[in-house]
Amino acid sequence: MSSTSQTVIPHHIAIVMDGNGRWATRRFLPRLAGHRQGVESLRRCVRACVARGVGVLTVFAFSSENWNRPADEVSGLMDLLAKALAREVPQLSRDGVRLHFVGEKSGLSDKVRDGLRQAEAATAGNGRLVLNVCFNYGGRWDIAQAAAALAARGEPITESSLHAAMGMAHVPDPDLLIRTGGEKRISNFLLWQAAYTELYFSDRLWPDFDEAALDEAIADYAARERRFGRTSEQLQAAPPDSLRA
């Protein structure tokens, strides 16, 4: 990346990591092999984001709708998560990455929940990159659980209170949302938070999404004018810190 492009690196990148199963099927491999390769791609992406100065990376690892997939694939994904945590957390900690797991945890096994808690605790002191892993997550679930929490506390439901009760309240909204795999939809991901997010769709399947592909997405983002409802003339006159929705 050039020194000029460094000034327009998105602070928060979100990714729908789509195409693992198709990647495996095209190679006559079981779908789980694609998910394993997807973990390797995520490892590359995390390190690339750290190197490029991205502050927050949020990935859609397992949606609330994914429970409808074949039972052996779901079981394999849970096992893959447990093994990936045990293997990756020490290196993530050395790289300064702080883990957050966002999603409904009550539907997970005790083993998986314990693994998530331990990973968050082991990386809690890191500040170079926040890595949000959305697991058993859905955008509609996030809005509903936030509203329910406010109602249970007897608090008024406003835009600001609802935002503060959501699973992503600890980070600013995404600047750039990338979806791989050729599909052009966000599939119930960050519905509230993506209100003013720039969308980028890649035909590459997630296991093939490398550092060069990430740089292409960032370059596309850098060329856009983010107006947040304003006009171009207003943007030119406004202080940079005021340009938010």
How far is it, in rounded angstroms, from Cα 242 to Cα 110? 44
| Average pLDDT over every residue of 30-36 | 90
How far is it, in rounded angstroms, from Cα 115 to Cα 99? 12
How far is it, in rounded angstroms, from Cα 33 to Cα 58? 23
Please give the structure tokens belonging to residue 15.
């990714």
> What percent of the chain clears pLDDT 90, i.e. is strictly above it?
69
Residue 41 annotated as part of some ligand binding site:
no
| Average pLDDT over every residue of 45-54 | 97
Residue 187 annotated as part of some ligand binding site:
yes
**Reduced to 3 states, what is the DSSP secondary structure of residue 37?**
helix
Q: Please list the residues that pair with 129 across neighbouring strands.
A: 97
Write down the pLDDT at residue 93.
Answer: 94
Strand-pair category, 129-137 with 176-179: unpaired
> What percent of the chain clears pLDDT 70, i.e. is strictly above it?
89
Q: pLDDT tens across 187-200, in order?
A: 999 999 999 999 99
Higher pLDDT, 245 or 158: 158
User: Residue 82 contacts by C-beta under 8 Å, 6 or more apart in sequence?
Assistant: 111, 112, 115
The phi-psi region of residue 207 (left if phi > 0; otherwise alpha if psi is between -120 and 50; otherwise beta) is alpha
Q: Please list the residues that pair with 12 across neighbouring strands.
A: 56
- Class assignment of domain 12-223? alpha beta
- Best-predicted range by mean pLDDT among 62-66, 74-78, 102-106, 152-156? 152-156
The phi-psi region of residue 121 (left if phi > 0; otherwise alpha if psi is between -120 and 50; otherwise beta) is alpha
The answer to whether residue 239 scores a pLDDT higher than 70 is no
- Residue ranges per structural domain of the chain: 12-223
Residue 40 annotated as part of some ligand binding site:
no
Instruction: State yes or no: is 18 an active-site residue.
Output: yes
Q: Which of 66, 95, 208, 220 is catalytic?
A: 66
- The mean-pLDDT minimum among 8-22, 53-67, 71-85, 210-224 falls in 71-85
Tell me the whole-structure pTM to 2 decimals: 0.88
Please give the structure tokens belonging to residue 212.
């060069």
**Reduced to 3 states, what is the DSSP secondary structure of residue 91?**
helix
Instruction: State yes or no: is 136 an active-site residue.
Output: no
How far is it, in rounded angstroms, from Cα 214 to Cα 107? 33
Write down the pLDDT at residue 207.
Answer: 96
Residue 31 annotated as part of some ligand binding site:
yes
